[in-house]
Structure 1
Amino acid sequence: MKPLLTIARWIDQWNTLVGQAVTWLVLVVALVSAGNAVMRKLFSLSSNTWLELQWYLFGAIFLLAAGYTFLRNEHVRVDVLAQKLPERAQVGIEIFGVLFFLMPAACLVFWLSIPFFWESWITHELSSNTDGLIRWPAKLLIPVGFAFLILAGLSHLIKCVGFLRGLCPNPMRVSSGKSDEEALVEDILAQQRQAGIEAGQGR
């Protein structure tokens, strides 16, 4: 079991790296969207290239961050009844859900999306819109995103079994601490206070 938990940690590290990298795409999407709006409103200029780039980036954010979101227990769960059960019972239900719902569905989408991407790749498929982008990068996001989700599900399954055997903490336990946004705000405020202190000492 311990080698499997080591594999789960590696998977979690990769999903964390990908998820944190993808967060920067939110900024890129915002800049592209704002640039499109400014050019259209002020100069009556518009390009399907930039509009489609916007769509591609949105797709990348949602697909590539799916595994990281699952790792962070941020996916929506309808657990009104399950949350009243003991922890071990909740984890048992989670294992059932991962084995019989998440993994089959994710694996099916992954498998079906490979020929969907491959056909686009070999035919050099282009957008039907004027000045549109090539299509295969957007279609490649589907198998890649679901691959990360499958790995996250595998890691989660290993940790659930590990918890039942007393080898690791409950992977379903959501931290009661601060959210990422709250932690970021506090970090920025702390840096500003530190800069103020240093500026005061330099006078």
Structure 2
Amino acid sequence: MVLVNVVLRYGFGTGSIKMQDLASYAFAVFLILAVPLCHARGGHVRVEVLSERLPPGYLRRADALAWALFLTPVFGLILWAGWGDIAFSWSIGEGSTTPGGLGGLYLVKTALPVAAALMIVQGLAALFEKRGA
């Protein structure tokens, strides 16, 4: 989408601010919603040199501790602190900051609390999955 917009702008002297905004919106939503998916597939960062030598019970306890001390508080804070901004954005139907840009920025902003909630749920699901294994 960005490449098409660049070719249109510099090759044909035309371009679209809305297409530029759409590329930015799509990238932002893709990036933030990829975080819970990465966690679901076990793509989180771990020091493998240490973890492959530790017993599985230790790793389960370490993951539970990380979920309780880091994952839930951080993503819970994102939910709590961002709620007012999201509500205001929806109430005014916030659009692009660029003149002539694409509307619907409030939808893009909504992806952040959705991803935060998905991370909390995914962390909890990972805990229960490991507990049952």
Structure 1 length normalisation: TM-score? 0.60
2:4 aligns with one of 5, 26, 35: 35
User: Per-residue displacement from partner, 1:12-54 (whole Å, max 9, x unpaired)?
Assistant: xxxxxxxxxxxxxxxxxxxx12221221221122222111111
Counterpart in the other structure of 2:59: 90
Give secondary structure in 2 for the equivalent of 1:77. coil
Greater RCO (CA < 8 Å, at least 6 residues apart): 2
The whole-number CA distance in structure 1 between the counterparts of 2:34 and 2:118 is 8
Counterpart in the other structure of 2:120: 150
Counting only pairs closer than 5 Å after superposition, residues 30-179 of structure 1 correspond to structure 2 as: 32-134=1-103, 135-162=105-132, 168=133
Counterpart in the other structure of 1:17: none
Read off the aligned partner of 1:106 and give its amino acid letter: F
The whole-number CA distance in structure 2 between the counterparts of 1:98 and 1:112 is 19
The whole-number CA distance in structure 2 between the counterparts of 1:114 and 1:132 is 25
The whole-number CA distance in structure 2 between the counterparts of 1:158 and 1:59 is 30
Read off the aligned partner of 2:14 and give its amino acid letter: L
The whole-number CA distance in structure 2 between the counterparts of 1:77 and 1:86 is 15
Alpha carbons 1:67, 1:151 under 8 Å: kept? no
Count of aligned positions: 132
The whole-number CA distance in structure 2 between the counterparts of 1:132 and 1:111 is 29
The whole-number CA distance in structure 2 between the counterparts of 1:48 and 1:80 is 48
Counterpart in the other structure of 1:20: none
Structure 2 length normalisation: TM-score? 0.88
The whole-number CA distance in structure 2 between the counterparts of 1:83 and 1:105 is 27
> Which has the larger Rg?
1
**Unmatched runs of 5 consecutive residues or more in structure 2:** none
The whole-number CA distance in structure 1 between the counterparts of 2:81 and 2:52 is 34
